[in-house]
Structure 1
Amino acid sequence: MTEVFENSASFASDLDSKDELQSFRREFSIPQKNGKSVLYFTGNSLGLQPVRARKLVEEELAKWAQYGVDGHFEGGRPWFTYHEHAKKGLSVLVGARESEVVAMNNLTSNLHLMMVSFFRPTKSRFKIIMEAGAFPSDQYAVESQLKFHGLDPEQALIEISPREGEFTLRNKDILQVIEEHGNETALVLMSGIQYYTGQKFNIKAITEMAHQKGAVAGFDLAHAIGNIKMNLHDDQVDFAVWCSYKYLNSGPGGVSGVFVHERHGDNPGLPRFAGWWGHDQDSRFLMQKGFKPMPGADGWQLSNVNILGTAAHLAALNIVLDAGWQKLLDKSRNLTAYLQYLLADLGKTFNDFKVITPEKPDERGCQLSLFFYRNGREVFDFLTENGVVADWREHPLNETSERAGVIRIAPVPLYNTYQDVFQFSRLLKLALEKEHERITE
């Protein structure tokens, strides 16, 4: 870990020369603009394409051409058990046993499936607790589930908001809300990383408090998996869902995944929506009535996994395993710290923006969210024109602010470099200078 940084191109270059993971950048296709590689900082939205993904997808296309339906049982990775090849990588990334994870469906579908099993409201215990400003798909899923059970979201949904003047949630405030509403709460559903602010939530503490109050603890890990270290099994999390197209680099609309703790996965009597692929594998082709779930998370599968999409998923997971998960976490921590340092240095001259992501490394992943009080869109457009691929999010909680919003920057350790981060800071400085000139004209 580097503790003393310098704001110079030579220093950034020196850090890159010492980076033992630098060769993994070549594992990805970097988009080009005007003949130059872009500065790609949207791994929190869509990760880059692994070069080896093409090979694995083409292998399955060739198998399909050669074997047809027999590809389900022929070749090195028969389609019948194809989903099993993702288990090792997923279990490492979320801190679980292989039986507790499975790649299937997409994120929101999986969230609904998990809520069928784990949101079981009663007259006295019917509330769901989640963070205010959660990703819209989660909000829609929760609201529709409440209405499906005949509940009024105004009464049954408890949303935790930051304190006035703050952007992120204090852990003690989250726990206090769970404590306050716990006796009426059926489910605590939080993000692992808050998509807008980049804040990392304390999964272990939230789970412990939920369980103390008799509630289920579930998490949406869309922005957490492949980004931060997690220990879902040891932390006793009940369930989790995620997508694979952000930090997992598995392609647009890539296969999702779920975690179900073994204490639930080994309970065949737990209610669920059943499908053919979740049925006992040994008797699946007997085509008989009477659902008998497979043990573990596999028992929540509905249909056979999308083979071509999962081939890309396997390619990406194998890269993580080759690089070493802990090494990636260490680089991510240092790379993000360097970005934070450069932004703080800029902040000595410009007061247009504020980094709203927590400063402490243990309270964030690699994403830093730059909140602009005004004219942030103009800054973002300048960056885009000059080869920076980032994203802009309007501020959802302050509709009166003129052009207020966030530019999210995620330096991903697999393919971003220290020079990327330095060049971004130089372009941001130039954008701010030009914006100040425009305003004063």
Structure 2
Amino acid sequence: MPEYKLGLEFAQQLDAKDAIKSYRNQFHIPKDKTGKNFIYMTGNSLGLQPKTTKQYINQELEDWANLGVEGHFEAKNPWLPYHEFLTESMAKVVGAKPLEVIVMNTLTTNLHLMMVSFYKPTKTRYKILIESDAFPSDKYAVESQLRHHGFDDKEGVVLWKPRKGEELLNYDDLEKILETQGDEIALIMLGGINYYTGQFFDLKRIATLGHKFGCNVGFDCAHGAGNVQLNLHDSGADFAVWCTYKYLNAGPGSLGGCFVHERHAHNKELNRFTGWWSHNKKTRFNMRNEFDQLPGAEGWQLSNPPILSMAAIKASLDMFQEVGIENLVKKSKTLTGYFEFLLKQLGEDVIKIITPSHPEERGCQLSIQVKNANKNLHDKLTASGVISDWRSPDVIRCAPVPLYNSYEDIFNLVEKLKAILDE
């Protein structure tokens, strides 16, 4: 990490040395009514649109217009195998083998499909462990799975909680939970990065621990994919799911991604919901064949994919392939470190960063608590030209994304925050 300094000139020097600064110009940055760029800090909620996205989607619209159904075979990017065009680059983003990755459906749908296979409750081992402040949709999903299997949806949830007076989760506490209740827990299902605090969990440590106690282990990596190096294969997790509309910049409500570890790739005995797109590609269109399971993550597909959404994902993934997740993470650590440095100058009696300070334990998001502040502070920050994210009761989430945020963005954001606090 560089030695950070105060002043606009230092921010501009960092921008001048930034090896991937040109990618900022490849995104549409929202502007205010005067035409000035907003300081956009909510890639953790919805990533910005790459300028190439329209071109990628238009290609499919043109092929649909000109070819009709023949586009499945004759389009520039044939629709029939379209999902395969995304597999290798997505696998690199999440640190997996192509066999282990599929782009399909949406996030919570994929989570349910994974729990069909990896939540296998018995009368004595049926509980699901999640973090106490999990993203609401994860909580709702696991509760509904418990109800579906005939269990109490509150008694069946085991919560990994932070210690009193702390925000971050402690691995010793997780181990104690497993030592005392491990034989009752069928599934550990955690966010890879907690949406609220920004804490990046040690996926390998958790998977190893969970498997030691006989639990299946899965992760919701919505806040991790495209943000940190997840190394899903090496983690040993049974499964993971993620969305593509946050750090992967694929557009609102875009398709999700799914990882299934290769040790499950050829296990046809795993319970799962199936559809014709998980059937053997060679005989899929013979229609009257008995079901023949595809190996790997592809074997969890249900339906033919929505091409227009996949085109937007392809536009983004082609950029990720060009830049490399390693280079993004390298800049991210410096960008977020600089942000942390400037925030601390405001005084720790005023500002508290609840996100871990160690760069390996977070992505680019910093969750900021301001003493005695309420949503009024966030509203003023928005009015000043900063698009950030408020989470009750008292946290502003800011995510400087290395693809399109600059060091000067960070400098200007903190200057605006300082001016508001000085009012």
Q: TM-score, normalised by structure 2?
A: 0.98
284-293 vs 188-197, which moves further: 284-293
Match of 1:6 in 2: 5
SS of the counterpart of 1:92?
helix
What is the deviation of 1:231?
A: 1.4
Contact 2:248 2:316 in 1 (8 A): yes
Contact 2:343 2:351 in 1 (8 A): no
Cα deviation code 1:136-159 (max 9, x no counterpart) = 000110000000000012321101
209-218 vs 71-80, which moves further: 71-80
Cα deviation code 1:295-314 (max 9, x no counterpart) = 10001001111100110101
SS of the counterpart of 1:114?
helix
315-324 vs 40-49, which moves further: 315-324
Cα deviation code 1:254-278 (max 9, x no counterpart) = 1101000111121122110111111
Match of 1:423 in 2: 412
Match of 2:80 in 1: 80
Match of 2:170 in 1: 170
Q: Which residue identity does 1:286 align to in structure 2? A: N
Q: Which residue identity does 1:367 align to in structure 2? A: Q
SS of the counterpart of 2:422?
helix
In 2, Cα distance between the equivalents of 1:86 and 1:392?
33
Match of 1:255 in 2: 255
Match of 2:111 in 1: 111
What is the deviation of 1:75?
A: 2.5
Q: Which residue identity does 1:94 align to in structure 2? A: V
In 1, Cα distance between the equivalents of 2:154 and 2:59?
51
Q: Which residue identity does 2:414 align to in structure 1? A: S
Contact 2:71 2:78 in 1 (8 A): yes
SS of the counterpart of 1:369?
strand
Q: Residues 376-415 of structure 1 correspond to what in structure 2 (within 5 A)?
A: 376-395=374-393, 405-415=394-404
SS of the counterpart of 2:188?
strand
Match of 2:101 in 1: 101
Percent of matched pairs sharing the same residue: 49
What is the deviation of 1:289?
A: 5.1
Contact 1:91 1:98 in 2 (8 A): yes
Cα deviation code 1:86-136 (max 9, x no counterpart) = 111211111110011000000000000000010010112111111011000
SS of the counterpart of 1:80?
coil
SS of the counterpart of 1:331?
helix
Q: Residues 311-326 of structure 1 correspond to what in structure 2 (within 5 A)?
A: 311-326=311-326
Match of 1:242 in 2: 242
Q: Residues 21-420 of structure 1 correspond to what in structure 2 (within 5 A)?
A: 21-33=20-32, 34-288=34-288, 290-347=290-347, 351-395=349-393, 405-420=394-409
Q: Which residue identity does 1:177 align to in structure 2? A: I
Match of 2:15 in 1: 16
Contact 1:171 1:201 in 2 (8 A): no
Cα deviation code 1:323-364 (max 9, x no counterpart) = 12211110000000000000111125xx33311001111110
Contact 1:171 1:202 in 2 (8 A): no
Contact 2:60 2:75 in 1 (8 A): no
Match of 1:399 in 2: none
In 1, Cα distance between the equivalents of 2:347 and 2:178?
37
In 1, Cα distance between the equivalents of 2:231 and 2:178?
21
In 1, Cα distance between the equivalents of 2:219 and 2:98?
18
In 1, Cα distance between the equivalents of 2:179 and 2:345?
41
Q: Which residue identity does 2:103 align to in structure 1? A: A
94-103 vs 177-186, which moves further: 177-186
Equivalent pairs, count: 422
Q: Which residue identity does 1:265 align to in structure 2? A: A
In 2, Cα distance between the equivalents of 1:307 and 1:75?
11
SS of the counterpart of 1:121?
coil
Q: Which residue identity does 2:378 align to in structure 1? A: F
The unaligned stretches of length 5 or more in structure 1 are 396-404, 435-441
In 1, Cα distance between the equivalents of 2:198 and 2:61?
38
What is the deviation of 1:407?
A: 0.4
What is the deviation of 1:175?
A: 2.5
Contact 1:278 1:301 in 2 (8 A): yes
Contact 1:392 1:406 in 2 (8 A): yes
In 2, Cα distance between the equivalents of 1:171 and 1:321?
34
What is the deviation of 1:28?
A: 0.4
In 2, Cα distance between the equivalents of 1:185 and 1:318?
40
Contact 2:283 2:289 in 1 (8 A): no
